[in-house]
Amino acid sequence: MGLAPSGKRRQVAANPEETDTAAMTDEKTIRRVAINTGGGDAPGLNAVIRAIVLASIHRGWEVFGIENGYGGLLSDEPGGLIRLDREDVRGITHRGGTILGTTNRGNPFEWPVEGPDAAPRARDRADEVVAAFHEHDLDALIAIGGDGSLHIANELHQEGLPVVGVPKTIDNDLSATSLTFGFLTAVETATDAIGKLHSTAESHQRVMVVEVMGRNAGWIALFSGLAGTADVILIPEIPYDIDKVCAKIREREARGRHFSIVCVAEGATQIDGEVVMKTVPHGTGEQTRIGGIGEVVAREIADRTGKETRSLTLGHLQRGGTPVSYDRVISLRFGTAAVRCVERRDFGKMVALDPPDIRPVPLSQSLENIKTVPVDGDAVLTARALGVSFGD
Ligand code: F6P
């Protein structure tokens, strides 16, 4: 510890990134780093890529982007491994999507192949991905992903790849990080939509039901519902009773408020009910996908209250567009923190926001549970204090 000019012992803050060095892989010098952006996209991905590229070049490393998830490492799939230089990441901090392309059908452990009867099947191609990684003489993989992609990254780490994860998802449902990048932009988009629905709902004296994303977590619904002043917020963590939802709408009517806004998370369920799923077109490898609750809630409200009710599903609008400034900043911070992990050979970790710091946490730990909204947490209590109904 150094001495400050006053002669006093200077306080040196503990490095939040310091971890057990014995646990770190001590192998060859880092020279070539690969980036993967598999899974659903989220605003801020390009900012993470830019941060990784610039921080790596600064260290004299080369950086490569794997195109289209892990497909870029498989010779018979479209895309490849592309070198990313300073010029390739110029002006992309504010751009939505990923310059590398992505797919959420790119799990190398269950690679989709068409069976003889054109039915979708899966083949384990992880060995090919691992072999390609070594053939390309790569020293580290930075996997930017949500729950699914980080599970894959963790499995690849168990197969021996030196992996660092970066938490990406608009759902904000990864435990071990207080925030995932993309979430705040999705909230901004949903809040804007709820704001716009107010004027048309009020003019027509209607109930507007807006369905937002989030899978089995209610973060987007809660935050956008609060910010956009929805009257009812339905989240997976608090199963709802439709009669209570209607009671709230009637209570507003009685007060002369002839319109209401209901913000419902796609994963919300009625008490003792199930998540509403919709069928998806053939060829996607899935039969059903979460979604459709907005229409269900709207129909039930119209039937019970007799009020004209419309529903709107925001869908992928929430995943697109330019990241809000905080998502850009957190993405840049995550990207550079991941590079510092690589430099220390601190693999098998995910960089996590633990305000005010970014810390590496074991990848496996970050995947143990999904992070759901605490039902007695401050945000829910705030909404309740403001008169918001959760339908319970
Ligand atoms: O996990 C992010 C997310 O946007 C969820 O909120 C949503 O349910 C899902 O992905 C949609 O994924 P896709 O339509 O890309 O399969």
Sign of CA dihedral 80, 114, 40, 169: negative
**Helix, strand, coil abundance in the chain, percent, nearest 5:** 35, 20, 45
* Lookup result for tokens 């996997």: 143
169 in contact with ligand 1, CB cutoff 6 A: yes
Q: Which of 147, 171, 231, 346 is catalytic?
A: 171
Domain 2-181+323-355: CATH architecture, name and number where available: 3-Layer(aba) Sandwich (3.40)
Task: Note the pLDDT of residue 281.
Answer: 73
Task: Note the pLDDT of residue 93.
Answer: 98
Q: 279 near 290, Cβ under 8 Å?
A: no
Instruction: Say whether 183-320+374-385 and 2-181+323-355 share the same fold.
Output: yes
Give the nearest ligand 1 atom to 267 CA.
Answer: 8
Report CA(40)–ligand 1 centroid distance (Å).
6
DSSP per-residue letters across 300-321: HHHHHH---EEEEE-GGGGG-S
167 in contact with ligand 1, CB cutoff 6 A: no
Domain borders along the chain are 2-181+323-355, 183-320+374-385
267 in contact with ligand 1, CB cutoff 6 A: no
Best residue among 37, 174, 215, 317 to mutate for probing ligand 1's pocket (most ligand atoms within 8 Å of CB) is 215
Strands, sheet with 207-212, edge to edge from the N-terminal-most edge strand: 232-234, 260-265, 207-212, 309-313
217 in contact with ligand 1, CB cutoff 6 A: no
Q: What is the pTM of this model?
A: 0.92
Give the nearest ligand 1 atom to 39 CA.
Answer: 15
Closest of 221, 166, 147 to residue 189, by C-alpha: 221
Give the nearest ligand 1 atom to 146 CA.
Answer: 1
Which residue has its alpha carbon closest to ligand 1 atom 15? Answer: 40
Give the nearest ligand 1 atom to 319 CA.
Answer: 4
314 in contact with ligand 1, CB cutoff 6 A: no
190 in contact with ligand 1, CB cutoff 6 A: no
Q: Per-residue pLDDT for the chain (392 aa), expressed as one digit of tens each?
A: 333 333 333 444 456 665 544 445 455 799 999 999 989 999 999 999 999 999 999 999 999 999 999 999 998 888 899 999 999 999 999 999 999 999 988 899 999 887 766 677 899 999 999 999 999 999 999 999 999 999 999 999 999 999 999 999 999 999 999 999 999 999 999 999 999 999 999 999 999 999 999 999 999 999 999 999 999 999 999 999 999 999 999 999 999 999 999 999 999 999 999 999 998 876 656 678 999 999 999 999 999 999 999 999 999 999 999 999 999 999 999 999 999 999 999 999 999 999 999 999 999 988 999 999 999 999 999 999 999 999 99
Whole-Å CA distances, 152 to 37, 108, 110, 348, 350? 12, 8, 10, 12, 13
- Distance in angstroms (rounded) separating the CA atoms of residues 72 and 90: 22
Report CA(385)–ligand 1 centroid distance (Å).
31
Report CA(279)–ligand 1 centroid distance (Å).
14
Q: Retrieve residue 387's tokens.
A: 């008169």
SS3 of 363-376 = HHHHCCCECCCCCC
Active site residue 85: no
Sign of CA dihedral 381, 384, 386, 389: positive
- Distance in angstroms (rounded) separating the CA atoms of residues 355 and 386: 27
Closest of 90, 30, 28 to residue 62, by C-alpha: 30
Task: Note the pLDDT of residue 23.
Answer: 46
Task: Note the pLDDT of residue 28.
Answer: 72
* Candidates 3.30.1490.20, 3.40.50.460, 2.170.190.11, 3.30.1330.180; CATH matching 183-320+374-385: 3.40.50.460
Task: Note the pLDDT of residue 21.
Answer: 47
- Distance in angstroms (rounded) separating the CA atoms of residues 390 and 280: 29
Count of CB atoms within 10 A of residue 99's CB?
A: 17
**CB-side neighbour CA atoms (13 Å) of 228:** 33
For 202, residues 6+ apart whose C-beta sits below 8 A from its C-beta are 258, 259
Q: Retrieve residue 102's tokens.
A: 């992505």
